[in-house]
Chains A and B, each alone.
Chain A
Protein backbone atom coordinates (compact mmCIF):
# COMPACT_ATOMS: atom_id res chain seq x y z
CA UNK A 1 0.00 0.00 0.00
CA UNK A 2 1.54 3.38 -1.00
CA UNK A 3 2.58 5.47 1.96
CA UNK A 4 0.47 8.35 0.76
CA UNK A 5 -2.65 6.27 1.02
CA UNK A 6 -1.93 4.98 4.47
CA UNK A 7 -3.67 6.75 7.24
CA UNK A 8 -0.77 8.29 8.98
CA UNK A 9 -0.92 9.05 12.61
CA UNK A 10 1.92 11.52 12.57
CA UNK A 11 1.19 14.88 14.03
CA UNK A 12 0.65 17.78 11.72
CA UNK A 13 3.16 20.52 12.34
CA UNK A 14 0.72 23.39 12.52
CA UNK A 15 -1.97 21.64 14.41
CA UNK A 16 -3.69 23.93 16.85
CA UNK A 17 -3.06 22.75 20.32
CA UNK A 18 -5.67 23.33 22.96
CA UNK A 19 -8.56 22.24 20.75
CA UNK A 20 -9.98 18.87 20.03
CA UNK A 21 -9.97 19.31 16.28
CA UNK A 22 -9.90 16.04 14.50
CA UNK A 23 -10.18 13.83 17.51
CA UNK A 24 -12.43 11.04 16.48
CA UNK A 25 -12.14 9.21 19.71
CA UNK A 26 -15.46 8.50 21.30
CA UNK A 27 -16.18 7.52 24.81
CA UNK A 28 -14.39 4.37 25.78
CA UNK A 29 -11.80 4.82 23.08
CA UNK A 30 -9.35 6.69 25.26
CA UNK A 31 -8.68 4.58 28.24
CA UNK A 32 -5.83 2.27 28.64
CA UNK A 33 -5.76 -0.21 31.44
CA UNK A 34 -5.39 0.83 35.04
CA UNK A 35 -1.75 -0.16 35.00
CA UNK A 36 -0.85 2.76 32.75
CA UNK A 37 -1.12 5.12 35.68
CA UNK A 38 1.83 3.50 37.38
CA UNK A 39 4.98 5.53 37.30
CA UNK A 40 8.33 3.86 37.02
CA UNK A 41 9.56 5.32 40.29
CA UNK A 42 6.68 3.95 42.34
CA UNK A 43 7.09 0.55 40.72
CA UNK A 44 10.78 0.39 41.60
CA UNK A 45 10.04 1.52 45.14
CA UNK A 46 7.49 -1.25 45.54
CA UNK A 47 9.79 -3.89 44.19
CA UNK A 48 12.65 -2.70 46.34
CA UNK A 49 10.45 -2.77 49.43
CA UNK A 50 9.22 -6.24 48.60
CA UNK A 51 12.68 -7.63 47.93
CA UNK A 52 14.30 -6.10 50.98
CA UNK A 53 11.47 -6.95 53.35
CA UNK A 54 12.89 -9.38 55.91
CA UNK A 55 10.54 -11.67 57.73
CA UNK A 56 11.32 -11.76 61.42
CA UNK A 57 7.92 -12.20 62.92
CA UNK A 58 4.25 -12.62 62.10
CA UNK A 59 3.82 -8.92 61.46
CA UNK A 60 6.61 -8.93 58.92
CA UNK A 61 5.06 -11.96 57.29
CA UNK A 62 1.71 -10.21 57.06
CA UNK A 63 3.41 -7.13 55.69
CA UNK A 64 5.17 -9.27 53.09
CA UNK A 65 1.87 -10.86 52.08
CA UNK A 66 0.32 -7.43 51.87
CA UNK A 67 3.06 -6.00 49.66
CA UNK A 68 3.05 -9.16 47.55
CA UNK A 69 -0.69 -8.82 47.09
CA UNK A 70 -0.27 -5.16 46.18
CA UNK A 71 2.42 -6.03 43.66
CA UNK A 72 0.26 -8.76 42.21
CA UNK A 73 -2.56 -6.26 41.87
CA UNK A 74 -0.34 -3.77 40.10
CA UNK A 75 0.77 -6.43 37.66
CA UNK A 76 -2.65 -7.97 37.26
CA UNK A 77 -5.05 -5.11 37.72
CA UNK A 78 -7.98 -7.39 37.01
CA UNK A 79 -7.26 -9.50 40.08
CA UNK A 80 -9.02 -7.51 42.79
CA UNK A 81 -12.26 -6.94 40.86
CA UNK A 82 -12.23 -10.63 39.95
CA UNK A 83 -11.89 -11.58 43.62
CA UNK A 84 -14.82 -9.37 44.52
CA UNK A 85 -17.01 -10.74 41.73
CA UNK A 86 -16.10 -14.37 42.43
CA UNK A 87 -16.64 -13.94 46.19
CA UNK A 88 -20.08 -12.47 45.78
CA UNK A 89 -21.05 -15.06 43.18
CA UNK A 90 -19.76 -17.92 45.30
CA UNK A 91 -21.66 -16.73 48.38
CA UNK A 92 -24.79 -16.37 46.29
CA UNK A 93 -24.52 -19.83 44.74
CA UNK A 94 -23.67 -21.50 48.05
CA UNK A 95 -26.61 -19.85 49.80
CA UNK A 96 -29.02 -22.04 47.84
CA UNK A 97 -31.51 -19.21 47.91
CA UNK A 98 -31.94 -17.70 44.48
CA UNK A 99 -34.96 -15.58 45.25
CA UNK A 100 -35.23 -11.88 45.92
CA UNK A 101 -35.15 -12.57 49.64
CA UNK A 102 -31.41 -13.27 49.35
CA UNK A 103 -29.59 -9.97 50.02
CA UNK A 104 -27.05 -10.82 47.31
CA UNK A 105 -29.75 -11.39 44.72
CA UNK A 106 -30.04 -7.68 43.88
CA UNK A 107 -26.34 -7.55 42.97
CA UNK A 108 -26.16 -10.64 40.79
CA UNK A 109 -29.40 -10.47 38.88
CA UNK A 110 -32.29 -8.19 38.13
CA UNK A 111 -34.99 -7.50 40.73
CA UNK A 112 -38.66 -6.55 40.92
CA UNK A 113 -40.07 -9.40 38.91
CA UNK A 114 -43.82 -9.06 38.37
CA UNK A 115 -46.37 -11.71 37.50
CA UNK A 116 -47.04 -10.19 34.11
CA UNK A 117 -45.74 -11.79 30.96
CA UNK A 118 -45.33 -9.98 27.66
CA UNK A 119 -46.36 -11.19 24.19
CA UNK A 120 -43.06 -13.03 23.77
CA UNK A 121 -43.45 -14.99 26.98
CA UNK A 122 -40.89 -13.06 29.03
CA UNK A 123 -41.62 -11.89 32.55
CA UNK A 124 -41.95 -8.17 33.05
CA UNK A 125 -39.82 -6.38 35.62
CA UNK A 126 -40.51 -3.20 37.51
CA UNK A 127 -37.95 -0.63 38.64
CA UNK A 128 -36.62 0.32 42.06
CA UNK A 129 -33.63 1.08 44.29
CA UNK A 130 -32.19 -2.44 44.00
CA UNK A 131 -31.34 -1.69 40.38
CA UNK A 132 -28.53 0.52 41.66
CA UNK A 133 -27.05 -2.52 43.42
CA UNK A 134 -27.07 -4.43 40.12
CA UNK A 135 -25.36 -1.56 38.32
CA UNK A 136 -22.75 -1.22 41.07
CA UNK A 137 -21.87 -4.91 41.00
CA UNK A 138 -21.53 -4.99 37.24
CA UNK A 139 -19.37 -1.86 37.33
CA UNK A 140 -16.91 -4.00 39.28
CA UNK A 141 -17.40 -6.81 36.78
CA UNK A 142 -16.68 -4.51 33.85
CA UNK A 143 -13.57 -3.23 35.64
CA UNK A 144 -12.33 -6.83 35.78
CA UNK A 145 -13.51 -7.61 32.25
CA UNK A 146 -11.80 -4.62 30.69
CA UNK A 147 -8.52 -5.14 32.50
CA UNK A 148 -8.48 -8.87 31.87
CA UNK A 149 -9.40 -8.71 28.20
CA UNK A 150 -6.97 -5.91 27.46
CA UNK A 151 -3.93 -7.19 29.35
CA UNK A 152 -4.31 -10.96 29.13
CA UNK A 153 -6.03 -11.55 25.82
CA UNK A 154 -5.45 -8.55 23.60
CA UNK A 155 -1.92 -7.53 24.47
CA UNK A 156 -0.46 -10.90 23.37
CA UNK A 157 -2.64 -10.69 20.28
CA UNK A 158 -1.08 -7.33 19.50
CA UNK A 159 2.42 -8.79 19.65
CA UNK A 160 1.38 -11.73 17.50
CA UNK A 161 0.03 -9.30 14.94
CA UNK A 162 3.42 -7.55 15.03
CA UNK A 163 2.26 -4.42 16.79
CA UNK A 164 5.32 -3.74 18.91
CA UNK A 165 5.53 -0.02 19.53
CA UNK A 166 4.37 0.45 23.09
CA UNK A 167 1.96 3.30 22.46
CA UNK A 168 0.46 1.50 19.51
CA UNK A 169 -0.06 -1.64 21.56
CA UNK A 170 -2.05 0.43 24.03
CA UNK A 171 -4.24 1.91 21.37
CA UNK A 172 -4.66 -1.41 19.64
CA UNK A 173 -5.88 -3.09 22.84
CA UNK A 174 -8.25 -0.20 23.53
CA UNK A 175 -9.88 -0.46 20.16
CA UNK A 176 -9.99 -4.24 20.24
CA UNK A 177 -11.71 -4.09 23.61
CA UNK A 178 -14.27 -1.76 22.09
CA UNK A 179 -14.77 -4.23 19.25
CA UNK A 180 -15.30 -7.00 21.81
CA UNK A 181 -17.72 -5.01 23.94
CA UNK A 182 -19.72 -3.39 21.15
CA UNK A 183 -19.60 -6.67 19.28
CA UNK A 184 -21.60 -8.16 22.14
CA UNK A 185 -23.79 -5.21 23.11
CA UNK A 186 -24.86 -4.30 19.57
CA UNK A 187 -26.37 -7.62 18.49
CA UNK A 188 -27.82 -8.11 21.97
CA UNK A 189 -29.39 -4.66 21.81
CA UNK A 190 -30.71 -5.28 18.32
CA UNK A 191 -32.28 -8.54 19.42
CA UNK A 192 -33.93 -6.81 22.38
CA UNK A 193 -35.24 -3.97 20.26
CA UNK A 194 -36.63 -6.34 17.63
CA UNK A 195 -38.62 -8.03 20.40
CA UNK A 196 -40.44 -4.77 20.98
CA UNK A 197 -43.12 -3.34 18.68
CA UNK A 198 -40.50 -0.66 17.89
CA UNK A 199 -38.73 -3.14 15.65
CA UNK A 200 -36.14 -1.35 13.53
CA UNK A 201 -36.48 2.22 14.84
CA UNK A 202 -40.20 2.59 14.24
CA UNK A 203 -40.56 5.72 16.36
CA UNK A 204 -44.37 5.63 16.57
CA UNK A 205 -44.17 2.82 19.11
CA UNK A 206 -41.92 4.80 21.43
CA UNK A 207 -45.01 6.71 22.50
CA UNK A 208 -48.09 4.62 21.73
CA UNK A 209 -48.05 2.50 24.86
CA UNK A 210 -46.13 4.88 27.09
CA UNK A 211 -45.46 4.74 30.08
CA UNK A 212 -43.27 1.65 29.94
CA UNK A 213 -43.16 1.14 33.66
CA UNK A 214 -42.30 -2.53 33.33
CA UNK A 215 -39.87 -3.97 30.82
CA UNK A 216 -39.12 -7.54 29.89
CA UNK A 217 -36.23 -9.36 31.51
CA UNK A 218 -33.58 -9.20 28.81
CA UNK A 219 -34.30 -5.58 28.14
CA UNK A 220 -33.70 -4.79 31.78
CA UNK A 221 -30.45 -6.77 31.73
CA UNK A 222 -29.33 -4.89 28.62
CA UNK A 223 -30.31 -1.49 29.96
CA UNK A 224 -28.74 -1.89 33.38
CA UNK A 225 -25.72 -3.65 31.91
CA UNK A 226 -25.11 -0.69 29.65
CA UNK A 227 -25.61 1.65 32.60
CA UNK A 228 -22.94 -0.30 34.49
CA UNK A 229 -20.56 -0.13 31.53
CA UNK A 230 -20.96 3.61 31.09
CA UNK A 231 -20.79 4.25 34.83
CA UNK A 232 -17.51 2.36 34.98
CA UNK A 233 -16.19 4.46 32.11
CA UNK A 234 -17.31 7.59 33.93
CA UNK A 235 -15.45 6.54 37.09
CA UNK A 236 -12.30 5.99 35.04
CA UNK A 237 -12.61 9.54 33.74
CA UNK A 238 -13.39 11.00 37.16
CA UNK A 239 -10.48 9.24 38.81
CA UNK A 240 -8.29 10.36 35.92
CA UNK A 241 -6.96 6.86 35.64
CA UNK A 242 -6.14 7.61 32.04
CA UNK A 243 -3.99 10.46 30.94
CA UNK A 244 -6.32 13.39 30.26
CA UNK A 245 -6.22 14.35 26.62
CA UNK A 246 -6.96 17.62 24.94
CA UNK A 247 -10.59 16.73 24.34
CA UNK A 248 -10.99 15.83 27.99
CA UNK A 249 -13.61 18.54 28.35
CA UNK A 250 -15.70 17.18 25.47
CA UNK A 251 -15.29 13.72 26.92
CA UNK A 252 -16.61 14.91 30.27
CA UNK A 253 -19.59 16.60 28.56
CA UNK A 254 -20.27 13.42 26.62
CA UNK A 255 -20.22 11.41 29.82
CA UNK A 256 -22.49 13.85 31.64
CA UNK A 257 -25.04 13.85 28.83
CA UNK A 258 -24.86 10.08 28.46
CA UNK A 259 -25.35 9.45 32.18
CA UNK A 260 -28.21 11.96 32.33
CA UNK A 261 -29.91 10.29 29.37
CA UNK A 262 -29.48 6.80 30.79
CA UNK A 263 -30.77 7.70 34.22
CA UNK A 264 -33.58 9.97 33.08
CA UNK A 265 -34.84 7.56 30.44
CA UNK A 266 -34.85 4.69 32.93
CA UNK A 267 -36.42 6.47 35.86
CA UNK A 268 -39.04 8.33 33.83
CA UNK A 269 -40.00 5.27 31.78
CA UNK A 270 -38.64 6.32 28.40
CA UNK A 271 -36.68 3.09 28.00
CA UNK A 272 -37.95 2.28 24.52
CA UNK A 273 -36.42 5.50 23.22
CA UNK A 274 -33.33 4.82 25.32
CA UNK A 275 -32.63 1.47 23.76
CA UNK A 276 -32.81 2.98 20.28
CA UNK A 277 -30.26 5.64 21.26
CA UNK A 278 -27.99 3.00 22.80
CA UNK A 279 -27.99 1.09 19.54
CA UNK A 280 -27.22 4.08 17.35
CA UNK A 281 -24.15 4.77 19.50
CA UNK A 282 -22.91 1.22 19.91
CA UNK A 283 -23.15 0.01 16.33
CA UNK A 284 -21.31 3.00 14.93
CA UNK A 285 -18.67 2.69 17.64
CA UNK A 286 -18.04 -0.89 16.57
CA UNK A 287 -17.33 0.22 13.00
CA UNK A 288 -15.12 3.03 14.32
CA UNK A 289 -13.04 0.66 16.42
CA UNK A 290 -12.72 -1.84 13.58
CA UNK A 291 -11.57 0.87 11.23
CA UNK A 292 -8.96 2.02 13.74
CA UNK A 293 -7.66 -1.49 14.39
CA UNK A 294 -7.23 -2.13 10.68
CA UNK A 295 -5.38 1.16 10.44
CA UNK A 296 -3.00 0.15 13.22
CA UNK A 297 -2.34 -3.10 11.43
CA UNK A 298 -1.68 -1.26 8.16
CA UNK A 299 -4.19 -3.53 6.48
CA UNK A 300 -4.84 -3.12 2.78
CA UNK A 301 -8.62 -3.05 3.33
CA UNK A 302 -8.41 -0.07 5.73
CA UNK A 303 -9.86 2.44 3.21
CA UNK A 304 -12.82 0.17 2.54
CA UNK A 305 -13.65 -0.14 6.20
CA UNK A 306 -13.08 3.54 6.75
CA UNK A 307 -15.73 4.33 4.16
CA UNK A 308 -17.98 1.72 5.75
CA UNK A 309 -17.42 3.36 9.11
CA UNK A 310 -18.31 6.80 7.73
CA UNK A 311 -21.48 5.36 6.22
CA UNK A 312 -22.48 3.67 9.46
CA UNK A 313 -21.72 6.81 11.46
CA UNK A 314 -23.89 8.95 9.22
CA UNK A 315 -26.72 6.42 9.18
CA UNK A 316 -26.80 5.56 12.88
CA UNK A 317 -25.60 8.72 14.58
CA UNK A 318 -27.22 11.22 12.26
CA UNK A 319 -30.00 9.87 10.09
CA UNK A 320 -31.56 7.73 12.85
CA UNK A 321 -30.88 10.29 15.54
CA UNK A 322 -32.54 13.00 13.48
CA UNK A 323 -35.44 10.64 12.90
CA UNK A 324 -35.76 10.19 16.68
CA UNK A 325 -35.43 13.94 17.29
CA UNK A 326 -38.12 14.58 14.69
CA UNK A 327 -40.38 12.09 16.40
CA UNK A 328 -39.93 13.98 19.67
CA UNK A 329 -41.13 17.12 17.91
CA UNK A 330 -44.04 15.49 16.11
CA UNK A 331 -45.16 12.22 17.68
CA UNK A 332 -44.23 12.82 21.33
CA UNK A 333 -47.33 14.91 21.89
CA UNK A 334 -49.77 13.34 19.47
CA UNK A 335 -49.20 9.63 19.97
CA UNK A 336 -50.25 7.93 23.19
CA UNK A 337 -51.05 9.62 26.48
CA UNK A 338 -49.72 13.13 26.80
CA UNK A 339 -50.30 14.10 30.39
CA UNK A 340 -48.50 14.19 33.66
CA UNK A 341 -49.70 11.42 35.92
CA UNK A 342 -47.52 11.01 38.98
CA UNK A 343 -49.44 8.04 40.31
CA UNK A 344 -49.03 5.97 37.16
CA UNK A 345 -45.53 7.11 36.30
CA UNK A 346 -46.51 8.94 33.14
CA UNK A 347 -44.14 11.82 32.54
CA UNK A 348 -44.70 12.39 28.84
CA UNK A 349 -46.02 15.93 28.98
CA UNK A 350 -45.23 19.55 28.16
CA UNK A 351 -42.44 19.57 30.77
CA UNK A 352 -40.53 16.51 29.60
CA UNK A 353 -40.81 17.21 25.88
CA UNK A 354 -38.24 20.05 25.81
CA UNK A 355 -35.98 18.22 28.27
CA UNK A 356 -35.92 15.08 26.12
CA UNK A 357 -35.32 17.12 23.00
CA UNK A 358 -32.52 19.22 24.50
CA UNK A 359 -30.64 16.21 25.86
CA UNK A 360 -30.88 14.28 22.60
CA UNK A 361 -30.01 17.37 20.60
CA UNK A 362 -26.94 17.99 22.77
CA UNK A 363 -25.79 14.44 22.04
CA UNK A 364 -26.41 15.02 18.37
CA UNK A 365 -24.34 18.21 18.44
CA UNK A 366 -21.40 16.28 19.85
CA UNK A 367 -21.80 13.74 17.07
CA UNK A 368 -21.90 16.53 14.49
CA UNK A 369 -18.71 17.89 15.99
CA UNK A 370 -16.97 14.60 15.32
CA UNK A 371 -18.63 14.14 11.92
CA UNK A 372 -17.04 17.33 10.69
CA UNK A 373 -13.56 15.94 11.26
CA UNK A 374 -14.42 12.53 9.92
CA UNK A 375 -15.68 14.07 6.68
CA UNK A 376 -12.61 16.27 6.46
CA UNK A 377 -10.37 13.24 6.63
CA UNK A 378 -12.49 11.50 4.01
CA UNK A 379 -12.42 14.55 1.73
CA UNK A 380 -8.67 14.88 1.93
CA UNK A 381 -8.26 11.18 1.33
CA UNK A 382 -10.51 11.08 -1.76
CA UNK A 383 -9.72 14.40 -3.41
CA UNK A 384 -6.20 15.11 -2.28
CA UNK A 385 -4.90 11.60 -1.83
CA UNK A 386 -3.73 12.54 1.61
CA UNK A 387 -4.70 10.36 4.51
CA UNK A 388 -3.66 12.18 7.61
CA UNK A 389 -5.43 11.95 10.89
CA UNK A 390 -4.80 15.45 12.17
CA UNK A 391 -6.15 14.94 15.64
CA UNK A 392 -4.81 17.59 17.92
CA UNK A 393 -4.39 15.23 20.81
CA UNK A 394 -2.50 12.67 18.81
CA UNK A 395 -1.95 9.31 20.34
CA UNK A 396 1.39 9.09 18.57
CA UNK A 397 2.80 12.11 20.36
CA UNK A 398 2.71 10.36 23.71
CA UNK A 399 5.96 8.92 24.95
CA UNK A 400 6.45 5.21 24.98
CA UNK A 401 7.50 5.50 28.60
CA UNK A 402 3.99 6.65 29.51
CA UNK A 403 2.60 3.21 28.84
CA UNK A 404 4.61 1.19 31.27
CA UNK A 405 1.83 -1.30 31.64
CA UNK A 406 2.21 -2.31 28.03
CA UNK A 407 5.93 -2.91 27.90
CA UNK A 408 6.81 -6.49 27.15
CA UNK A 409 7.81 -8.81 29.93
CA UNK A 410 11.28 -9.16 28.49
CA UNK A 411 11.74 -5.41 28.52
CA UNK A 412 10.65 -5.25 32.13
CA UNK A 413 13.00 -8.05 33.11
CA UNK A 414 15.96 -6.44 31.43
CA UNK A 415 15.25 -3.12 33.07
CA UNK A 416 14.99 -4.72 36.48
CA UNK A 417 18.22 -6.65 35.95
CA UNK A 418 20.04 -3.45 35.11
CA UNK A 419 18.96 -2.04 38.44
Chain B
Protein backbone atom coordinates (compact mmCIF):
# COMPACT_ATOMS: atom_id res chain seq x y z
CA UNK B 1 0.00 0.00 0.00
CA UNK B 2 2.88 2.34 0.84
CA UNK B 3 4.52 1.59 -2.49
CA UNK B 4 1.33 2.36 -4.36
CA UNK B 5 0.85 5.62 -2.55
CA UNK B 6 4.48 6.53 -3.18
CA UNK B 7 4.10 5.59 -6.85
CA UNK B 8 0.99 7.64 -7.35
CA UNK B 9 2.36 10.67 -5.51
CA UNK B 10 5.62 10.66 -7.44
CA UNK B 11 3.82 10.09 -10.75
CA UNK B 12 1.27 12.77 -10.02
CA UNK B 13 3.94 15.29 -9.03
CA UNK B 14 5.97 14.45 -12.13
CA UNK B 15 2.96 14.89 -14.37
CA UNK B 16 2.03 18.20 -12.71
CA UNK B 17 5.61 19.47 -13.04
CA UNK B 18 5.89 18.45 -16.70
CA UNK B 19 2.49 19.78 -17.71
CA UNK B 20 2.99 22.92 -15.64
CA UNK B 21 6.37 23.55 -17.26
CA UNK B 22 5.06 23.04 -20.77
CA UNK B 23 2.03 25.25 -20.21
CA UNK B 24 4.14 27.95 -18.58
CA UNK B 25 6.53 27.76 -21.52
CA UNK B 26 3.65 28.17 -23.96
CA UNK B 27 2.13 31.11 -22.12
CA UNK B 28 5.47 32.85 -21.56
CA UNK B 29 6.58 32.46 -25.18
CA UNK B 30 3.18 33.65 -26.40
CA UNK B 31 3.31 36.77 -24.26
CA UNK B 32 6.97 37.40 -25.02
CA UNK B 33 6.95 36.20 -28.57
CA UNK B 34 8.86 39.30 -29.61
CA UNK B 35 11.75 38.21 -27.41
CA UNK B 36 11.67 34.75 -28.94
CA UNK B 37 11.44 35.83 -32.58
CA UNK B 38 13.29 39.15 -32.75
CA UNK B 39 16.59 40.72 -31.77
CA UNK B 40 17.70 44.32 -31.97
CA UNK B 41 20.79 45.90 -33.38
CA UNK B 42 22.05 49.35 -32.47
CA UNK B 43 24.49 51.10 -34.77
CA UNK B 44 25.44 54.72 -35.42
CA UNK B 45 23.80 55.96 -38.62
CA UNK B 46 27.22 56.85 -39.98
CA UNK B 47 30.63 56.36 -38.45
CA UNK B 48 31.34 58.66 -35.51
CA UNK B 49 27.74 59.89 -35.53
CA UNK B 50 26.02 60.58 -32.21
CA UNK B 51 22.70 59.54 -33.71
CA UNK B 52 22.01 55.83 -33.34
CA UNK B 53 19.75 53.61 -35.34
CA UNK B 54 17.85 50.70 -33.80
CA UNK B 55 16.84 47.97 -36.23
CA UNK B 56 15.07 44.77 -35.47
CA UNK B 57 15.90 41.46 -37.11
CA UNK B 58 14.58 37.99 -36.63
CA UNK B 59 12.40 35.26 -38.03
CA UNK B 60 9.38 35.72 -40.21
CA UNK B 61 7.24 35.69 -37.07
CA UNK B 62 8.82 38.95 -35.96
CA UNK B 63 5.94 41.16 -37.07
CA UNK B 64 5.45 44.93 -36.78
CA UNK B 65 3.99 44.68 -33.28
CA UNK B 66 6.96 42.59 -32.11
CA UNK B 67 9.41 45.06 -33.63
CA UNK B 68 7.75 47.94 -31.83
CA UNK B 69 7.85 46.00 -28.57
CA UNK B 70 11.53 45.25 -29.02
CA UNK B 71 12.37 48.84 -29.75
CA UNK B 72 10.47 49.99 -26.66
CA UNK B 73 12.31 47.46 -24.53
CA UNK B 74 15.64 48.57 -25.95
CA UNK B 75 14.97 52.21 -25.26
CA UNK B 76 13.76 51.45 -21.74
CA UNK B 77 16.93 49.52 -21.07
CA UNK B 78 19.02 52.38 -22.46
CA UNK B 79 17.36 54.85 -20.13
CA UNK B 80 17.82 52.56 -17.17
CA UNK B 81 21.52 52.20 -17.92
CA UNK B 82 22.18 55.92 -18.35
CA UNK B 83 19.79 57.78 -16.15
CA UNK B 84 21.78 61.00 -16.07
CA UNK B 85 21.53 61.45 -19.85
CA UNK B 86 18.40 62.71 -21.54
CA UNK B 87 17.64 60.94 -24.79
CA UNK B 88 15.23 61.72 -27.57
CA UNK B 89 13.99 59.22 -30.04
CA UNK B 90 11.61 58.61 -32.91
CA UNK B 91 10.14 55.50 -34.48
CA UNK B 92 9.70 55.34 -38.23
CA UNK B 93 6.92 52.99 -39.30
CA UNK B 94 7.47 52.43 -43.00
CA UNK B 95 4.48 50.46 -44.32
CA UNK B 96 5.81 50.61 -47.84
CA UNK B 97 8.97 48.66 -46.99
CA UNK B 98 9.14 45.40 -48.89
CA UNK B 99 10.26 43.21 -46.04
CA UNK B 100 8.32 43.12 -42.80
CA UNK B 101 11.56 43.21 -40.94
CA UNK B 102 12.40 46.66 -42.36
CA UNK B 103 9.07 48.24 -41.53
CA UNK B 104 10.02 49.61 -38.12
CA UNK B 105 13.22 51.53 -37.48
CA UNK B 106 14.01 53.80 -34.54
CA UNK B 107 16.58 56.54 -34.06
CA UNK B 108 17.78 58.05 -30.85
CA UNK B 109 20.32 60.60 -29.71
CA UNK B 110 21.15 62.53 -26.60
CA UNK B 111 19.71 65.99 -26.13
CA UNK B 112 22.76 67.73 -27.57
CA UNK B 113 22.34 65.93 -30.89
CA UNK B 114 18.60 66.28 -31.27
CA UNK B 115 19.05 68.43 -34.35
CA UNK B 116 20.93 65.64 -36.08
CA UNK B 117 18.14 63.27 -35.12
CA UNK B 118 15.53 65.26 -37.01
CA UNK B 119 17.26 64.46 -40.31
CA UNK B 120 16.27 60.82 -40.00
CA UNK B 121 12.88 61.07 -38.36
CA UNK B 122 9.73 61.07 -40.45
CA UNK B 123 7.49 61.29 -37.39
CA UNK B 124 7.59 63.19 -34.15
CA UNK B 125 10.62 63.19 -31.84
CA UNK B 126 9.87 62.18 -28.28
CA UNK B 127 11.94 62.68 -25.20
CA UNK B 128 12.79 59.47 -23.39
CA UNK B 129 11.66 59.86 -19.81
Interface residues of A (CB under 8 A from B): 129, 132, 235, 238-240, 263, 267, 339-345
Interchain CB contact under 8 A, B33 and A343: yes
**A343 and B30: CB pair below 8 A?**
yes
Q: How far is the CB of A249 from chain B (nearest CB, A)?
A: 14
Identify which of residues 24-50 in chain B touch chain A, using a CB-to-CB cut-off of 8 Å.
26, 29-30, 33, 36-37
Counting chain B CB atoms within 10 Å of each CB, the highest count among A129, A235, A340 belongs to A340
Chain A contacts for B30, CB-based, 8 A: 342-343, 345
Report B-chain residues with C-beta under 8 Å of the C-beta of A341.
33, 37, 61
Contacting pair B61 A342 (CB below 8 A): yes
Q: Determine the distance from Cα of A41 to Cα of B11 in the docked complex, in whole angstroms.
A: 30
- State in angstroms the CA–CA spacing of A267 and B19 once bound together: 10
Confirm or deny: B81 has a beta carbon within 8 angstroms of a beta carbon on chain A: no
A132, A238, A267, most chain B CB atoms within 10 A: A238
Are B7 and A340 in contact (CB-based, < 8 A)? no
Between-chain CB contacts (< 8 Å), 18 pairs: A129-B23, A132-B19, A235-B8, A238-B4, A238-B8, A238-B11, A239-B4, A240-B3, A263-B22, A339-B59, A340-B59, A340-B61, A341-B37, A342-B26, A342-B29, A342-B33, A343-B30, A345-B30
The residues of B that contact A267 with a CB separation of less than 8 Å are 22-23, 26
Contacting pair B7 A339 (CB below 8 A): no
User: Cα distance A263–B7 when bound, in Å?
Assistant: 21
Nearest residue (CB) in A for B65 is A343
Q: Is B97 an interface residue, CB under 8 A from the partner?
A: no
Nearest-CB distance from A253 to chain B (Å)?
14
Q: Is A339 touching B61 in the complex (CB atoms < 8 A)?
A: yes
Residues of B within 8 A of A129 (CB): 23
Alpha-carbon gap, A238 to B4, bound state (A): 7
Our pick among A240, A263, A342 for the contact of B36 (Cβ within 8 Å) is A342
- Of A132, A263, A341, most buried by chain B (CB within 10 Å of CB) is A341
| Secondary structure dominating the interface of A | loop
Cross-interface CB contact of B7 among A132, A240, A342, A345, cutoff 8 Å: A240
For residue A132, which residues in chain B have a CB less than 8 angstroms away from its CB?
A: 19
A267 CA to B25 CA, complexed, in Å: 11
Query: A339–B58 Cα gap in the complex (Å)?
Result: 12
For A240, the chain B residues whose CB sits under 8 A away are 3-4, 7
Q: Does B60 contact A (CB under 8 A)?
A: yes
Minimal Cβ-Cβ distance residue in A for B11: A238
The contact of B37 among A235, A263, A342, by CB within 8 Å, is A342
- Taken together as a complex, chains A and B put the C-alpha atoms of A267 and B26 apart, in Å, by 9
A343 lies within 8 A of B8 (CB): no
For B61, the chain A residues whose CB sits under 8 A away are 339-344
User: Shortest CB–CB separation between residue B126 and chain A, in angstroms?
Assistant: 27
Question: Chain A contacts of B3 at CB under 8 A?
Answer: 240
Segment 41-98 of B: residues with Cβ below 8 Å from A: 59-61, 66
| A374 CA to B33 CA, complexed, in Å | 49
In whole angstroms, what is the CA distance A129 to B27 when docked? 11
Task: Find out whether the CB atom of A239 lies under 8 angstroms from the CB atom of B7.
Answer: yes
Most buried by B among A129, A239, A240: A239
Distance of B21 from chain A, by nearest CB (Å)? 11
A235 to B30 alpha-carbon distance, docked (Å): 32
Question: How far in angstroms is the closest Cβ of chain A from B34?
Answer: 9
When chains A and B are docked, how far (Å) is the Cα of A240 from the Cα of B11?
13
* Distance in angstroms between the alpha carbons of A91 and B7 in the assembled complex: 33
Contacts of A345 in B (CB 8 A): 26, 30
